[in-house]
């Protein structure tokens, strides 16, 4: 399950999510700036009676605030878009750390299977002078390692890509 922006903002800066703090801070700053500019717009607003109705009217000096409003809206939208892209990169993981841990577990499993093959080969060689790769236990271990490698290689590549993308986004803050 992918986190929402609200969940992201609530967890950013907690020990497991320390790397997200700057992105969250940028969001709060951009949102605060947008609110400030919107409040300044109210200074240029007055009411005018038109027939039986009262309508809001901005004075001419509001044009000085409009570029600031546009800039604040763009900044706020850009930071929100980066949060969304970051959360998309995380996918079902709750942090870059969790993705890294998963990737390392997959790699460790493969390394452990390589060690098992080496140990089984040494044992087969000690039992006979034949080629250890022809020993049934070694052949079974090689098949298992190859199967696990085939199953995990796509996931490892995907995790590496996701981690890289998430770090790229966070690195901009």
What is the predicted pLDDT for the residue at 75?
97
Number of alpha carbons in the 13 Å side-chain half-sphere of residue 64: 6
The span from the CA of 42 to the CA of 48, in Å, is 14
* Average pLDDT per 10 consecutive residues for the chain, totaling 173 residues: 82 83 93 96 91 91 94 96 95 92 94 91 82 87 92 94 96 89
Per this entry, what is the length of the chain? 173
Pairing between β-strand 53-58 and β-strand 45-50 as defined by DSSP bridges: antiparallel
Q: Is residue 5 a contact partner of residue 83, using CB atoms and an 8 Å limit? A: yes
């Amino acid at each position: 399950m992918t986190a929402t922006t609200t969940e992201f903002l609530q967890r950013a800066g907690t020990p497991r999510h320390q790397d997200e703090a700057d992105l969250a801070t940028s969001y709060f700053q951009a949102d605060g700036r947008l609110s400030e500019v919107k409040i300044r717009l109210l200074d240029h607003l007055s009411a005018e009676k038109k027939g039986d109705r009262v309508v809001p009217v901005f004075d001419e000096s509001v044009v000085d605030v409009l570029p600031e409003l546009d800039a604040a809206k763009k900044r706020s939208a850009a930071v929100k878009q980066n949060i969304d892209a970051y959360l998309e990169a995380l996918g079902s993981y709750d942090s870059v750390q969790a993705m890294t841990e998963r990737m390392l577990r997959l790699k460790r499993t493969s390394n452990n299977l390589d060690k098992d093959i080496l140990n089984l080969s040494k044992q087969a060689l000690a039992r006979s002078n034949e080629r250890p790769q022809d020993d049934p236990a070694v052949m079974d271990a090689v098949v298992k390692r190859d199967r696990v490698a085939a199953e995990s290689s796509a996931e490892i590549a995907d995790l590496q890509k996701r981690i890289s993308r998430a770090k790229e986004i966070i690195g901009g803050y």
